[in-house]
Structure 1
């Protein structure tokens, strides 16, 4: 009985303690969007989930998420289930519930059409840069001061519509380059948590 109460208290305290990182990968939840350019955030969460054995077994706050540890840090890995353009409707309530300071302990991973496949870019804050998922997160949080990691998916060819481009699949060497970029993005998450966003920027920006 004592052990049960101890575990219950420990679990309750963990939920109330905001000293953890929320790591969000952006994407669209349906199977038809699997491996599309817009879903590299989801894929990076999968890399972290597999590497650190953190299953996304909970569904709440319009998100699939899982809690665990990466090194010495407690983390929550998150995939919003809202579809890309409403990502903030999952991120903001989740940060609020777990009392996580979104200005210091939130990391968001998204695609970037202005970066070549294989490149990532770490930033401590900034605008949405035309990305609707980031735009909605900024709107729901009321600020843009969260760390973000952008994974390059390549520029849209002139003859393509932007929606068709980001919802399309990689071809040839681009897929291999993006797989490697997602591994780097996962490593950049760890670097941000352990040594800060400036260190991650120096280590990973421009790395291919």
Structure 2
């Protein structure tokens, strides 16, 4: 079993915000591979299915972003998976251009509270992740207001492309080809 967890906030008012990019990618994967993410377990919405021949659990923690690790730890323990090999976390990143991806095997939280909580709950920062760029916070903006804001029409188009790329990268990572995924997707978009 491979777990793909997208981070976000559960309330309807957060749909389509920068901070819910992880949920949006999981929704795109669910649609592409016809997996219903509608079962409530482990403080998350989950859906079981198959992606490229691999059993997968798509996960949208319902704990709010800052407590995402509680849900993910529960799933990791229940399914007895190795986070280094069988967990993929997808989330927003303000240090990347809109729609740009950065894939890593491990790393720090980089100021992201959802990731900080996952690292604290797992006791390790070694798990694959896909960061999806939401653009840098404009000067003078409050960070919380920015990440809880919605995309412009222009940015939404770039994000849709980013979601598709994140789905492709997720499939590669699940097949054990994280190096290939990093080589293909950790590049700035060509103008």
Q: What TM-score results when the alignment is normalised by the length of structure 1?
A: 0.89
Q: Hey, what's the Cα distance between the residues in 2 that align with 1:194 and 1:97?
A: 22
Tell me the equivalent position of 1:114. 95
Q: Comparing 197-206 with 74-83, which one deviates more in the overlay?
A: 197-206
Alignment equivalent of 1:152, drawn from 133, 136, 139:
133
Aligned to 1:65: 46
Counterpart in the other structure of 2:79 = 98
Q: Deviations over 1:67-112 (max 9, x none)?
A: 1101110000000000000000100011110111112110000000
Post-superposition Cα deviations, 1:17-61, rounded to whole Å, max 9, x if no partner, equal xxx110000000000000000001000000000000110121111
2:10 to 15, 23, 29: 29
Structure 1 residue aligned with 2:124:
143
Q: 1:197 aligns with which of 166, 171, 178?
A: 178
1:80 counterpart (26, 43, 61): 61
TM-score, normalised relative to structure 2: 0.97
Show structure 1 runs of 5+ residues with no match: 1-19
Which stretches in structure 2 are left out of the alignment for 5+ residues?
Answer: none
Using the alignment, how far apart are the partners of 2:135 and 2:171 within structure 1? 25
RMSD: 0.8
Aligned-pair CA distance for 1:195:
4.1
SS at match of 1:87: helix
Alpha-carbon separation, structure 2, partners of 1:118 and 1:70: 23
> In the alignment, which of 123, 142, 148 is matched to residue 104 of structure 2?
123
1:110 partner SS = strand
How far 1:207 moved relative to its partner? 4.9
Matched, 1:168 2:168: no
Shift of 1:161: 0.2
Aligned residues: 189
Structure number, greater radius of gyration? 1
- The runs of 4+ residues in structure 1 deviating greater than 2 Å are none
Distance 2:38 2:137 in 1: 35
